[in-house]
Amino acid sequence: MTVLAAGDGPIPGEHYLPCVPDEVFWGRLPCAVDRPVIRVVSGSTVTIDTLSHEGILEDQGSDPRAFFGTYGVEPESVLEEAVRLVATRRRDPRADGPHVVTGPIEVAGAQPGDLLAMSVIDTARRVPYGVVSNRHGRGALPGEMPTGPGAYHAFVTVEERSDGRADGVLPLVPGGEESVRFPLHPFLGIMGVAAAGSVRPNSVPPGSFGGNLDIRDLVVGSTLYLPVQVPGALAYVGDPHFAQGNGEVALTALEASLRATVRFDVIPAADAVARFGELAGPLGETHEHLIPTGLDEDLDVAVSNCVRAALGLLEAGYGMDRGQAYAYLSAATDFEISQVVDLVKGVHARIRKADFGR
């Protein structure tokens, strides 16, 4: 098995930000008092190494070489950052989230009221395997799944296709010969800007600053717009995924480390309001869709928040009457569950841009 080690392989961005164990955030997200590890200007591209939390956590032994070795992974095929992180850093599993976050990145000129656009230019797999986990009664079926004691980990290997794409391969039964195969669609589960104030948020619940959104549509070619909370934005990424189903019902998706190249653009407040209205939270965009979001601990409230965000977007972006927009959303737009496992649940809508002829 080959790995994409720090500094090796293609680095397509203008800047490169490795995943340095002494600099990353583990279980917490940046806030206003944190210092940037890199400074860039608006329009810059940054290639960022990310590290998955799977294989390094306490209930997995805090020994990634030993953990992955039980699945046949050779020691040299485990990322060195994972080994160094558990050897030099500690987190409080009772208070901190599991995620490893690379950043923060200061974007010159970004001010509260502006939007920061984070556009995914490229993703590259750093390892040829990943893990899906269910633990701590946090999946969609707490107390019912998993069926065995303690944490449950499903190990998934990557298989290249002849067309250059790749599949995840998961045995039908642990250690069995027959497998199910599913296509990979890599994306960053965490994309965000620093929260206002001096308290670093737990990495699990998403918020108006973005964070652990787990929106599977944010693949290469997509953009996430985030309301800037602090001067310089202080952006960050993490929680890399190889694939995820909407809902992420077993607590995690297919978690595995990525190298991502992201472009950072500042959209001034006046331009942001003219394009999208007043955004209270994250907004995604793909080639085909606008993706407003709704967040709340209560899934019903998250749906309502997403509908309100979609209405405001259609009013501001297309001059649509609110009542007409409500009818359009009901007739033509899918509202989908991003995830139900991150304490704050997420819903996103997929509004077809082509429906509006421009």
Q: Record the tokens describing residue 326, joined without a space.
A: 């409500």
> Helices 269-276 & 299-318, crossing angle to 10 degrees?
100
Residue 31: give the domain boundaries. 15-267
Q: In a 3-state reduction of DSSP, which class is residue 67?
A: helix
- Shared domain for 238 and 335, answered yes or no, is no
| Among 54, 33, 39, 27, CA closest to 258 | 54
- Shared domain for 210 and 345, answered yes or no, is no
Cα separation, 120 vs 47, whole angstroms: 10
Partners of 346 in the beta sheet? 295, 339
pLDDT at 267: 98
- Shared domain for 345 and 246, answered yes or no, is no
DSSP code, position 353: G
pLDDT at 66: 97
Cα separation, 130 vs 159, whole angstroms: 12
Q: In a 3-state reduction of DSSP, which class is residue 301?
A: helix
The reply to whether 6 falls in a domain is no
The reply to whether 250 falls in a domain is yes
pLDDT at 108: 98
pLDDT at 298: 97
Q: Give the burial string for 132-164 (b: 16+ CB within 10 Å, else e).
A: bbbbeebbbeeeeebeeeeebbbbbbbeeeeee
- Shared domain for 261 and 320, answered yes or no, is no
Please give the single-letter amino acid code of residue 347: V
Final residue belonging to a domain, choices 204, 234, 267: 267
- Shared domain for 134 and 234, answered yes or no, is yes
pLDDT at 26: 98
pLDDT at 358: 59
* Alpha carbons within 13 A on the beta-carbon side of 64: 25
- Shared domain for 157 and 283, answered yes or no, is no
> What does each of the 358 residues of the chain score in pLDDT, given as a tens digit?
689 999 999 999 999 999 999 999 999 999 999 999 999 999 999 999 999 999 999 989 999 999 999 999 999 999 999 999 999 999 998 899 999 999 999 999 999 999 999 999 999 999 999 999 987 677 888 888 876 656 788 999 999 998 989 999 999 998 889 999 999 999 999 999 999 999 999 999 999 999 999 999 999 999 999 999 999 999 999 999 999 999 999 989 999 999 999 999 999 999 999 999 988 899 999 999 999 999 999 999 999 999 999 999 999 999 999 999 999 999 999 999 999 988 999 999 999 999 998 5
Estimate the share of the chain in helix, then strand, then coil, as percent rounded to the nearest 5: 20, 35, 45
For residue 347, give the CATH number of its domain: 3.10.28.20
Sequence-distant (≥ 6) Cβ neighbours of residue 163 within 8 angstroms: none
Q: In a 3-state reduction of DSSP, which class is residue 290?
A: strand
Cα separation, 264 vs 189, whole angstroms: 17
| Among 249, 350, 240, 242, CA closest to 294 | 350
Q: In a 3-state reduction of DSSP, which class is residue 276?
A: helix
The reply to whether 152 falls in a domain is yes
- Shared domain for 219 and 292, answered yes or no, is no
Final residue belonging to a domain, choices 213, 241, 267: 267
- Shared domain for 79 and 112, answered yes or no, is yes
- Shared domain for 114 and 31, answered yes or no, is yes
pLDDT at 35: 97
Partners of 294 in the beta sheet? 347
Cα separation, 64 vs 153, whole angstroms: 13
The reply to whether 1 falls in a domain is no
Final residue belonging to a domain, choices 267, 294, 321: 267
The reply to whether 285 falls in a domain is yes
The reply to whether 208 falls in a domain is yes
Q: Record the tokens describing residue 235, joined without a space.
A: 């952006």
Q: How many of the other CB atoms lie within 10 Å of CB of 334?
A: 12
Q: Give the chain's length.
A: 358
Partners of 181 in the beta sheet? 169
pLDDT at 145: 84
The reply to whether 119 falls in a domain is yes
Cα separation, 4 vs 124, whole angstroms: 9
pLDDT at 299: 96
Q: How many of the other CB atoms lie within 10 Å of CB of 84?
A: 14
The reply to whether 312 falls in a domain is yes
Which helix (DSSP H) or strand (DSSP E) does residue 175 occupy? none
DSSP code, position 204: S
- Shared domain for 199 and 307, answered yes or no, is no
- Shared domain for 236 and 299, answered yes or no, is no
Per DSSP, helices labelled H in the chain are 64-69, 80-88, 269-276, 299-318, 322-332
- Shared domain for 254 and 348, answered yes or no, is no
For residue 69, give the CATH number of its domain: 2.60.120.580
Number of domains composing the chain: 2
